[in-house]
């Protein structure tokens, strides 16, 4: 063996001398189940109709019912991993200890319960489900969705079969909240109940007809677990202590995509809370846009990092909306550092922030469906590859964009078709729109093709740097014919400035 | 060398990795497939550093959960393995910081001796000596050996992970092997 030519035999010996065992199948399966059941905390910018509807409902209710900016001072928070902030300003009741039950190898554990004055937040987990019985993994999940608890066929309304219910000692049953008051209530295993539980209740019963997305008729059903509540006195910190960051007057940054005709709104980023833990640091950031157009619904940071006292740049992960009771939906976010930063001052930097506008769905609406709709004549027999020049101009929040053309395409033409791991699902034909705007905006417009008969749904959004947006929507029953109407549903732009906040302990 | 060929890791196929990563960004089931592909190399590497299944499972869990949450921000540039191992090493370092100790190679050896295959091999004097020689390498050198021969990373992946040139990594590993061999003779 010379310097650059080790003998394969000796490499084999080294490999063998260092050999470590593989992970056990039990562990591998358990972790896999946990992972595929975890909520996707940061979704791409694609709103599927069901999500969009839930989001809009949540937004409308919150805009109406938001109590206004609550006084941050004097509020007491703790931080519980996997749960988030727990407020104990007025005291609360919480799960005395986790409870679990195992039936036929399936273990259901209630891990957290917090009973506030006006609501109950619960979290549970299930382990031991084989992949073939797990609706997130099973091969027939898309072809036979109703074989799984809570599954619905495309287009059907929500099926609450897998919703956990809470039964109080007096027989009252609490149902999971769907009014949109608590928008974080999107995960079946983290339900929120919009109810004021009497103060003398110290025990509840968790009742679940079937495990969400588990194959029906195969796994144990009709679960019931009784758990005890412990009282947490007001002011007690639950979990890790939270550092409240005093409000400072932030530096105002004009939103970058200003054009000659748009007066740029002022965007500010505020660091509200910090939670140092043993392994990382949790940060709560709030984005605000002054003199924003009323059709703005959310400002979403896409890329955020911190620079610690040693100059290390550490990415922040998470970026999901946290308890938005005091802010408009989609402006306050929880982030976690990828690794533990050095102690001392921190600089938080957001270098990509997306602003979302939905003028049709704000309360009150900022435009009409007619104003956001365009049509083109596809004729009675549209052919694959056929193209129509449209040149339809729209303006949302002062940002102009043009629907340049439409073309009849098929699923195989989707730029991101590999994202659809279930294939076309029958949505084989539709129209592809080219949308142009000021390249600095990185504008994305999302739209829906009308027509019940055509059932248009599957959507692909492709925006590559400064190139025009390619937006495709495919339909189930061939190409929509005749006068095809399309409505702009949403528009987003990217703010490219760096937003910075410095914090000194 | 009894049983070695039978337990050797099958080389991984990376051809469809970019598509899988893209799918996994919005689909937990697709992430499950990524997990299936990378679980064992990550676990073996962590086990060899931590020396016991309990802690290796704990840190492996943290690694994949962090990867799952960070994946939407990962930009595919052919460095997924390096990215994943960067997370694993970060989680492992956090673990060491919390527990203030690091398992030495012979501790891992003792614990892993429970494995059937190793039971047969632990009596092989040559391997015992080789382990002892590897143990005398400095931690960075041991880590290189682990990345290459426990986790089965390619030289390019190790280079991405460590921020070094591929040929430099290759040369370093081969020089280490030459040193080990000379110490064994």
Q: What is the pLDDT of residue A110?
A: 94
Is there a domain that residue A81 lies in?
no
Whether A225 and A245 map to the same domain: the answer is no
Interface probe for B, chosen from A16, A333, A341 (most Cβ of B below 10 Å), is: A16
Q: Is the pLDDT of residue A145 over 50?
A: yes
- The CATH number of residue A343's host domain is 2.60.40
User: B23: which chain A residues are within 8 Å (Cβ-Cβ)?
Assistant: 418-419, 421
Give the span between the Cα atoms of B104 and A147, in whole angstroms: 50
User: A4: which chain B residues are within 8 Å (Cβ-Cβ)?
Assistant: 170-171, 174
Q: What is the pLDDT of residue A190?
A: 84
Q: Do B118 and A19 touch (CB under 8 A)?
A: yes
What is the widest separation between alpha-carbon atoms in chain B?
54
Helix, strand, coil percent values for chain A (each to nearest 5) = 10, 40, 50
Could you tell me which of A149, A145, A105, A110 has the C-alpha nearest to residue A129? A105
Q: Is the pLDDT of residue A244 over 60?
A: yes
Distance from CA of B125 to the nearest CA of A (A): 11
Mean pLDDT over the full length of chain B: 74
Give the span between the Cα atoms of B143 and A258, in whole angstroms: 51
User: A136: which chain B residues are within 8 Å (Cβ-Cβ)?
Assistant: 28-29, 32
Q: Is the pLDDT of residue A45 over 70?
A: no
Nearest residue of B to residue A31, measured between CA atoms: B61
More confident residue, A235 or A165: A165
Report the helix count and the strand count for chain B, using DSSP H and E.
11, 0
Under 8 Å CB pairs connecting chains A and B tally to 171
Element of type H or E holding A171: none
User: A421: which chain B residues are within 8 Å (Cβ-Cβ)?
Assistant: 23, 27, 29-30
Distance from CA of B159 to the nearest CA of A (A): 17
Is there a domain that residue A5 lies in?
no
Give the span between the Cα atoms of A324 and A42, in whole angstroms: 16
Whether A21 and A165 map to the same domain: the answer is yes
Instruction: List the single range of A5-19, A264-278, A311-325 with lowest mean pLDDT.
Output: A311-325
Interface probe for B, chosen from A3, A8, A12, A14 (most Cβ of B below 10 Å), is: A14
Report the number of distinct structural domains present in chain A. 3
Question: What pLDDT band is residue A181 in, cutting at 50, 70 and 90?
Answer: low
Whether A350 and A382 map to the same domain: the answer is no
Q: What is the pLDDT of residue B175?
A: 86
Give the tokens for residue A18: 């260092």
User: B108: which chain A residues are within 8 Å (Cβ-Cβ)?
Assistant: 20
Interface probe for A, chosen from B43, B111, B155 (most Cβ of A below 10 Å), is: B43
Maximum average pLDDT range among A295-299, A483-487, B113-117? A483-487
Q: Give the contacts of A76 (CB within 8 A, at least 6 positions apart).
A: A87, A88, A89, A234, A235, A236, A237
More confident residue, A230 or B165: A230
Maximum average pLDDT range among A237-246, A390-399, B119-128, B131-140? A390-399
Q: In whole angstroms, what separates CA B113 from the centre of its chain?
A: 18
Q: Which domain holds residue A223?
A: 12-43+89-231
Task: Output the CA torsion sign for A400, A404, A408, A409.
Answer: negative
Task: Output the CA torsion sign for B49, B55, B58, B62.
Answer: negative
Q: Is the pLDDT of residue B185 over 70?
A: yes
Is there a domain that residue A78 lies in?
no
Look at residues A181, A200, A231 and tell me which one is the last residue of a structural domain.
Answer: A231
Give the span between the Cα atoms of A325 and A237, in whole angstroms: 20
What confidence tens digit (pLDDT) does each residue in B29-63 have?
778 888 888 999 999 999 988 888 888 888 899 89
Q: Is the pLDDT of residue B118 over 60?
A: no
User: B45: which chain A residues are within 8 Å (Cβ-Cβ)?
Assistant: 20
Q: What is the pLDDT of residue A83?
A: 76
Mean pLDDT of A148-171: 83
Q: Which of A19, A21, A35 sits opposite B31 (nearest CB)?
A: A35
Q: Which of B29, B94, B127 sits opposite A137 (nearest CB)?
A: B29
Give the tokens for residue A223: 């679960």
Whether A213 and A316 map to the same domain: the answer is no
* ipTM of the shown complex: 0.81
Q: Do A18 and B26 touch (CB under 8 A)?
A: no
Q: Which of A14, A34, A419 sits opposite B177 (nearest CB)?
A: A14
Q: Is the pLDDT of residue A464 over 70?
A: yes
Q: What is the pLDDT of residue A496?
A: 73
Is there a domain that residue A459 lies in?
yes
Element of type H or E holding A239: none
Give the span between the Cα atoms of A7 and A14, in whole angstroms: 11
Whether A396 and A278 map to the same domain: the answer is no
Measured between CB atoms, does B26 come within 8 Å of chain A? yes
- Phi, psi dihedrals of residue A164, rounded to the nearest 5°: -75, 140
What confidence tens digit (pLDDT) does each residue in A91-142 have?
889 998 889 999 999 999 999 999 998 899 999 999 898 888 988 777 787 6
Query: Looking up tokens 């620079």, which residue turns up?
Result: A307
Report the helix count and the strand count for chain A, using DSSP H and E.
3, 29
User: A14: which chain B residues are within 8 Å (Cβ-Cβ)?
Assistant: 130, 134, 145, 149, 177, 180
Q: Do B127 and A340 touch (CB under 8 A)?
A: no
Q: Which of B26, B47, B94 sits opposite A21 (nearest CB)?
A: B47
Q: Which of residues 101-140 of B touch A (CB under 8 A)?
A: 108, 112, 115, 117-118, 121, 126-127, 130-131, 134
Percent of chain A with pLDDT over 70: 80
Q: Which of A20, A23, A35 sits opposite B28 (nearest CB)?
A: A35
User: B126: which chain A residues are within 8 Å (Cβ-Cβ)?
Assistant: 13
Instruction: List the single range of A43-47, A116-120, A140-144, B69-73 with lowest mean pLDDT.
Output: A43-47
Question: What pLDDT band is residue B106 in, cutting at 50, 70 and 90?
Answer: very low
Give the span between the Cα atoms of A79 and A238, in whole angstroms: 7
Distance from CA of B88 to the nearest CA of A (A): 11
Q: Is the pLDDT of residue A484 over 50?
A: yes
What confidence tens digit (pLDDT) does each residue in A414-462 have?
887 776 666 777 889 999 999 999 998 889 998 989 876 777 888 888 8
Maximum average pLDDT range among A182-186, A361-365, B170-174? B170-174
Instruction: List the single range of A7-16, A241-250, A462-471, B95-104 with lowest mean pLDDT.
Output: B95-104
Q: What is the pLDDT of residue A38?
A: 59
Measured between CB atoms, does B94 come within 8 Å of chain A? yes
Mean pLDDT of A151-176: 84
Q: What is the pLDDT of residue A322?
A: 44
Is there a domain that residue A172 lies in?
yes
Q: What is the pLDDT of residue B44?
A: 92
Q: What is the pLDDT of residue A72?
A: 37
Element of type H or E holding A356: strand A346-357
Is there a domain that residue A255 lies in?
yes
Q: Do A31 and B61 touch (CB under 8 A)?
A: yes
Whether A142 and A191 map to the same domain: the answer is yes
Whether A293 and A436 map to the same domain: the answer is no
What is the SS3 string spanning B81-93? HHHHHHHHHHHHH
Look at residues A208, A231, A254 and tell me which one is the last residue of a structural domain.
Answer: A231
Q: Is the pLDDT of residue A348 over 90?
A: yes
Mean pLDDT over the full length of chain A: 80
Integer Rg of chain B from CA: 17
More confident residue, A104 or A319: A104
Is there a domain that residue A368 lies in?
no
Q: Which of residues 27-56 of B touch A (CB under 8 A)?
A: 27-32, 35-36, 39-40, 43-45, 47-48, 53, 56
Q: What is the pLDDT of residue A4?
A: 52
Q: Do A17 and B127 touch (CB under 8 A)?
A: yes
Percent of chain A with pLDDT over 90: 32
Question: What pLDDT band is residue A254 in, cutting at 50, 70 and 90?
Answer: low
Q: What is the pLDDT of residue A251?
A: 52
DSSP labels for B10-76?
PPPP-TTHHHHHHHHTT-HHHHHHHHHHHHHHHHHHHHHHH-SHHHHHHHHHHHHHHHHHHGGG---
Element of type H or E holding A17: helix A8-17
More confident residue, A15 or A59: A15
Look at residues A231, A249, A265 and tell me which one is the last residue of a structural domain.
Answer: A231
Residue A467 CB coordination number (10 Å): 11
Q: Do B127 and A12 touch (CB under 8 A)?
A: no
User: B166: which chain A residues are within 8 Å (Cβ-Cβ)?
Assistant: none
**CA distance readout (Å), A445 to A50, A326, A439:** 18, 29, 13
Task: Output the CA torsion sign for A67, A72, A77, A82.
Answer: positive
User: B178: which chain A residues are within 8 Å (Cβ-Cβ)?
Assistant: 1-3, 6
Whether A487 and A499 map to the same domain: the answer is no
Whether A170 and A319 map to the same domain: the answer is no
Q: Do A24 and B53 touch (CB under 8 A)?
A: yes
Q: Which of A10, A43, A302 sits opposite B181 (nearest CB)?
A: A10
Is there a domain that residue A135 lies in?
yes
Whether A307 and A160 map to the same domain: the answer is no
Whether A223 and A118 map to the same domain: the answer is yes
Whether A177 and A30 map to the same domain: the answer is yes
């Amino acid at each position: 063996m010379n310097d650059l030519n080790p003998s394969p035999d000796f490499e084999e010996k080294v490999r063998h001398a260092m050999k470590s065992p593989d992970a056990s199948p039990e562990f591998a399966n358990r972790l896999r189940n946990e992972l595929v059941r975890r909520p996707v905390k940061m979704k791409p910018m694609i709103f599927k109709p069901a999500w969009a509807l839930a989001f809009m409902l949540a937004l409308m209710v919150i805009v109406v019912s938001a109590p206004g900016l609550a006084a941050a001072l004097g509020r007491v928070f703790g931080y519980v991993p996997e749960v988030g902030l727990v407020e104990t300003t007025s005291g609360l009741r919480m799960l005395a200890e986790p409870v679990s039950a195992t039936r036929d190898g399936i273990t259901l554990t209630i891990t957290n319960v917090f009973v506030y004055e006006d609501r109950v937040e619960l979290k549970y987990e299930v382990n031991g489900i084989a992949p073939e019985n797990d609706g997130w993994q099973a091969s027939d999940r898309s072809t036979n969705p109703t074989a799984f608890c809570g599954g619905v066929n495309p287009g059907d309304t929500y099926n609450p079969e897998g919703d956990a219910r809470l039964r109080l000692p007096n027989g009252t049953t609490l149902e999971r909240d769907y009014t949109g008051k608590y928008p974080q209530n999107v995960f079946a295993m983290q339900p929120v109940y919009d109810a004021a539980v009497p103060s003398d209740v110290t025990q509840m019963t968790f009742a679940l007809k079937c495990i969400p997305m588990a194959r029906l008729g195969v796994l144990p059903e009709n679960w019931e677990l009784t758990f005890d509540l412990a009282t947490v006195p007001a002011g007690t910190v639950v979990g890790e202590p939270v550092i409240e960051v005093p409000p400072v007057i932030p530096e105002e940054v004009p939103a970058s995509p200003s054009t000659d005709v748009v007066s740029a709104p002022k965007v500010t980023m505020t660091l509200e809370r910090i939670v140092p833990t043993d392994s990382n640091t949790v940060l709560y950031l709030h984005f605000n846009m002054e003199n924003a157009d009323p059709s703005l619904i959310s400002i979403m940071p896409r890329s955020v990092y911190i620079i610690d006292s040693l100059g290390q740049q550490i990415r922040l992960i998470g970026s999901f909306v946290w308890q938005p009771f005091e802010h408009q939906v989609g402006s306050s976010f929880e982030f976690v550092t990828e690794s533990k930063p050095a102690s001392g001052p921190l600089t938080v930097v957001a270098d990509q922030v997306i602003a979302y506008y939905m003028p049709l769905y704000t309360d009150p609406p900022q435009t009409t469906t007619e104003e956001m709709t365009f049509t083109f004549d596809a004729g009675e027999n549209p052919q694959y590859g056929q193209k129509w020049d449209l040149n339809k101009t729209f303006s949302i929040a002062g940002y102009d964009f043009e629907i340049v053309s439409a073309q009849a395409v098929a699923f195989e033409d989707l730029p991101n078709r590999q994202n659809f791991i279930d294939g076309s699902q029958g949505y084989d034909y539709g129209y592809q729109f080219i949308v142009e705007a000021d390249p600095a905006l990185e504008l994305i417009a999302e739209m829906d093709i009308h027509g019940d008969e055509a059932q248009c749904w599957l959507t692909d959004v492709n925006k590559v740097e400064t190139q025009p947006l390619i937006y495709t929507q495919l339909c189930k029953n061939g190409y929509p014919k005749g006068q095809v109407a399309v409505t702009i549903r949403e528009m987003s732009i990217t703010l490219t400035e760096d937003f910075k906040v410095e914090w000194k302990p | 060398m009894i049983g070695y060929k039978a337990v050797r890791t099958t080389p991984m196929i990376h051809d469809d990795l970019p598509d899988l990563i893209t799918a996994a960004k919005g689909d937990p089931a697709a992430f499950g497939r990524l997990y299936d592909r990378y679980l064992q190399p990550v676990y073996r590497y962590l086990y060899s550093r931590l020396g016991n299944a309990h802690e290796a499972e704990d840190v492996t869990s943290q690694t994949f959960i962090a990867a799952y949450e960070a994946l939407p921000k990962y930009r595919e540039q052919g460095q997924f393995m390096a990215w994943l191992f960067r997370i694993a090493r970060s989680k492992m370092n956090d673990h060491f910081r919390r527990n203030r100790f690091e398992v030495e190679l012979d501790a891992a050896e003792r614990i892993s001796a429970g494995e059937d295959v190793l039971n047969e091999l632990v009596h092989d004097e040559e391997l015992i000596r080789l382990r002892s020689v590897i143990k005398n390498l400095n931690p960075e050198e041991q880590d290189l050996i682990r990345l290459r021969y426990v986790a089965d990373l390619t030289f390019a992946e190790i280079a991405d992970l460590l921020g070094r040139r591929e040929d430099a990594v290759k040369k370093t590993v081969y020089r280490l092997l030459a040193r080990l061999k000379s110490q064994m003779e």
